[in-house]
Structure 1
């Protein structure tokens, strides 16, 4: 079950965190993975680990918000079976504390970046006779989170794009779903705590963990396992769906 033998997958932001976990599990199940990162360093590190465990992968430096650069990279990769739109950036702020430049930056990366990859990837998936697209949304698209105005706006757009793509390409054997994580323990979280709470990191980590009713943050590998299922033939009847993976956050927080 869940075999991806002879499949070719692209994972944006695949050099660390959730993207790296997804890239790793896809290769373990037989896929050839192409990692797109803003710089080469993180991609090289992830690929070295993948190759050390017997997987096969390639890395590309590309800003997903640059339309022409994205088209160039996907033309080099050629036909693919799987696209994981994972690259994204975070922002903290309310509507009246978010500067225009920060709002534009979030939209450029988290919304236009997804569009750019969809635009470039769908013709390549079509060449493969169909395939799977997974967009990384967030529980911020589903419920109100404090101080996440721009980020929530962007992730809401990603969820809407997922539904649109699923509808438009269902007749071409292209499935599209989204995943909406709550807090996931990634290097980003550690960096955030180090920067903002250097004197009480452990206390704040515990506080953030317990906002999930299950009592902890998700592991990147848990999100990766969900992505693997949605990419596999075992999920061939699933399209146009969003999957919260949130430790009960969206339903059990009263």
Structure 2
């Protein structure tokens, strides 16, 4: 345990985990914030998964409470902010981790899948910010960390809905950072690359019928550093952006990708 977030409250949206062999970004973030001394509200659409994360937090001596919310429902976004305030009295960190991959060529992608990708990846994130920001503005402090993807920095031929929505997350992050900087609120994003997480590896293996080890090896071969990252790598970057160590940093999109985007000249 450290004291980097001692006495603070972190709301981790998407703090549960889908089934997988490795730890996901949201659960890793909840545990990392707790180790740094924060009290954590673990928010997830799957309440059982959120409760499992809470148990893990308590096992390491941290404080956490589970809360069920669907971020595509505006009332749920308002309620999660209110719940955090009722339980902990303050919100110092908002960590937005929810995302889905909407795949398909432009000509084949349904309008429903396009809308769903933006609803989850962008609109839900905007709505959680909408209901937390008034509290942060009133206190004159706060940090928001949006978990995006390196896909938002790259062109994607058959993932147009995903890449476009993640690019929009970057634009929203910068816009919020500029709007709320005078109020002492910082807004940054982390853009993970090839990560060994349930969403990154297990979901691909399930959808393609490939062996998990083969999927992991193929992804690792694309990374200049020679291996995939982990949910902990993302959580460590998020902790830096949430803590006072980054007190003069706002509007940044930080790739955590082992050098992947350097190959494209985009970084």
TM-score tier, shorter chain, comes to over 0.9
- Asked if structure 2 preserves the Cα contact closer than 8 Å seen for 1:179 and 1:242, the reply is yes
Give the C-alpha shift of residue 2 in structure 1. Answer: 6.4
* Alpha-carbon distance in structure 2 between the residues aligned to 1:199 and 1:158: 31
- Long gaps (5+) in structure 2: 18-23
| Correspondence for 1:72 | 79
Instruction: Report the counterpart of residue 40 of structure 2 in structure 1.
Output: 33
Give the match for residue 233 of structure 1: 244
Whole-angstrom distance in 2 between the partners of 1:2 and 1:248: 30
Unaligned runs of 5+ in 1: none
Decide which of 203, 212, 235 is 1:224's aligned counterpart: 235
| C-alpha separation in 2, matches of 1:152 and 1:26 | 28
Coordinate RMSD, CA, aligned: 1.6
Cα deviation for residue 125 of structure 1 reads 1.6
State the distance in 1 between where 2:245 and 2:210 align. 47
Report the equivalent of 2:260: 249
Question: Secondary structure in 2 aligned to 1:227?
Answer: helix
TM-score by length of 2: 0.90
TM-score by length of 1: 0.95
1:179 match: secondary structure = strand
1:3 counterpart residue number = 4
SS of 2:7's partner is coil
Residue among 144, 164, 168 paired with 2:179: 168
Instruction: Find the counterpart in structure 2 of residue 18 from structure 1.
Output: 25
Q: Deviations over 1:60-92 (max 9, x none)?
A: 111001011211221121130110111111122
Does residue 61 of structure 1 match 2:72?
no
How many residue pairs get matched?
254
Per-residue deviation at 1:94? 2.0
